[in-house]
């Protein structure tokens, strides 16, 4: 693929540097987490907890904001502060204990653990990939093969080339003909101005926003091509291995509240939308988008999983194998240690 513009974000290098000096911490076992009983906080003696988001507040985070607004955290004896990300990657902040929990993605957890950053995914926020490659309908994109030879608006992730190469190869198309243009994250205006031909978007936000603005898009949803590009969890909730070893009760209490939050949002999307807009007034101008997004996401939080947050070893293993086989992931990665279902409520 031809790439122009600024260089890729040096993500792996940053993680390696950030991991320096981290103690070697053994992965917690599910047995240890399951045998411990949550402690009950005395009235007025709430345990302070910090959760770092991956981005500005949006509908992916709704379970956190509902749990805060509806008192679910307080019911579990927790005083939770939700903060936005800083310059340091959220995975490093959580691994180092500066935040108790964080919002991340399966690919970031995979890269982080390979680089020696000891974080664990403790819940899948959404069960299946809700992203896809989008182009204006006038481009006539019907299958991944139609992406060959077009201009792609890249955001600088090391997985973009690998994903497009595998996706197009399934349709006997040559991804090397794609013109990779690094543009960052403000993609829709570039599509409208015909400065790029297609971009990777999350349907629950940019896809629905385009519909509300009357912009006709064709979107190749990755979930429809899971036989080609492995499905993966995006986003996830993470904790540091040290916290899970030393205070598994805290993780269980936290997820008990958050699970209630996402269940409430799935059953009451409009009420949940009001909660999010009240917590993040900057979203007030797009309140209709927040409502539409939560209506669409509601049934997808748990989807076909036996409970909200459940993760599958097969999903973790298949996606790691894809990253390894594509050469994006360097080093040893143990998918068994990268996630745990042990802290989810029964």
| Residue 30's pLDDT band (cuts 50, 70, 90) | very low
Interhelix angle for 269-279 vs 287-297, to 10°?
Answer: 140
- pTM of the prediction? 0.87
Q: Give me the pLDDT at residue 1, please.
A: 52
Number of C-beta neighbours around residue 266 at 10 A: 20
User: Is 204's pLDDT higher than 60?
Assistant: yes
Count Cβ neighbours within 10 Å for each residue of 62-79 and write b for 16 or more, e otherwise.
bbbbbbbbbebbeebbbe
Count Cβ neighbours within 10 Å for each residue of 7-23 and write b for 16 or more, e otherwise.
ebeebbeebbebbeebe
Q: Give me the pLDDT at residue 87, please.
A: 87
User: Is 6's pLDDT higher than 60?
Assistant: no
| Residue 33's pLDDT band (cuts 50, 70, 90) | very low
What is the three-class DSSP state of 24? coil
HSE-up of residue 228 (Cα within 13 Å, Cβ side): 20
pLDDT in tens, 117-174: 999 999 999 999 999 999 999 999 999 999 999 999 999 888 999 999 999 999 999 9
Torsion of CA 102, 275, 257, 240, to 10 degrees: 0
Q: What does the DSSP 8-state code read for residue 128?
A: S
Distance CA 41, CA 320 (A): 39
Sorted by where each begins, the domain ranges of the chain are 46-128+233-338, 131-225
| Residue 44's pLDDT band (cuts 50, 70, 90) | low
pLDDT in tens, 74-102: 999 999 999 999 889 999 999 999 999 99
Q: Give me the pLDDT at residue 38, please.
A: 40
Number of C-beta neighbours around residue 300 at 10 A: 16
3-state SS of 150-192 is CEEEECCCCHHHHHHHHHHHCCCCCHHHCEEEECCCCCHHHHH
Q: What does the DSSP 8-state code read for residue 266?
A: H
User: Is 14's pLDDT higher than 90?
Assistant: no
**Could you tell me the fold of the domain covering 131-225?**
D-Maltodextrin-Binding Protein; domain 2 (3.40.190)
- For domain 46-128+233-338, say whether CATH 3.40.50.300 is its number: no
**Partners of residue 218 on adjacent β-strands:** 135
Q: What does the DSSP 8-state code read for residue 237?
A: E
Give, in degrees to the nearest 5, the angle at Cα 81 between 76 and 87: 140
Q: Do 46-128+233-338 and 131-225 share a fold?
A: yes
| Residue 26's pLDDT band (cuts 50, 70, 90) | very low
């Amino acid at each position: 693929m031809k790439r122009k513009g600024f260089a890729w974000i040096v993500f792996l290098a940053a993680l390696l540097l950030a991991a320096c000096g981290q103690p070697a911490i053994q992965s917690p076992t599910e047995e240890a987490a399951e045998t411990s009983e949550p402690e009950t906080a005395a009235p007025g003696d709430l345990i302070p907890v910090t959760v770092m988001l991956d981005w500005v507040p949006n509908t992916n985070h709704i379970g956190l904001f509902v749990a805060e607004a509806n008192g679910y955290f307080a019911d579990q004896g927790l005083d939770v502060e939700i903060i936005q990300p800083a310059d340091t990657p959220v995975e490093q902040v959580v691994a180092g204990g500066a935040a108790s929990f964080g919002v991340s993605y399966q690919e970031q957890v995979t890269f982080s653990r390979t680089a020696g950053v000891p974080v664990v995914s403790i819940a899948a926020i959404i069960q299946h990939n809700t992203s896809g490659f989008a182009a204006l309908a006038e481009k006539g994109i019907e299958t991944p093969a139609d992406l060959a030879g077009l201009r792609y608006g890249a955001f600088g992730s090391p997985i973009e080339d690998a994903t497009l190469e595998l996706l197009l190869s399934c349709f006997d198309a040559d991804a090397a003909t794609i013109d990779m243009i690094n543009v960052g994250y403000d993609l829709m205006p570039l599509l409208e101005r015909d400065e790029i031909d297609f971009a990777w978007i999350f349907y629950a936000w940019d896809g629905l926003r385009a519909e509300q603005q009357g912009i006709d898009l064709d979107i190749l949803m990755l979930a429809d091509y899971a036989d080609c590009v492995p499905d993966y969890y995006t986003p996830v909730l993470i904790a540091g291995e040290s916290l899970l070893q030393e205070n598994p009760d805290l993780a269980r209490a936290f997820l008990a509240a958050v699970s209630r939050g996402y269940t409430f949002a799935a059953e009451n999307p409009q009420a949940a939308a009001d909660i999010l807009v009240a917590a993040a007034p900057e979203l007030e101008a797009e309140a209709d988008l927040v409502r539409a997004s939560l209506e669409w996401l509601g049934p997808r939080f748990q989807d076909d999983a036996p409970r909200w947050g459940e993760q599958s070893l097969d999903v973790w293993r298949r996606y790691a194998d894809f990253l390894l086989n594509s050469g994006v992931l360097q080093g040893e990665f143990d998918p068994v240690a990268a996630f745990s279902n042990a802290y989810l409520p029964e």
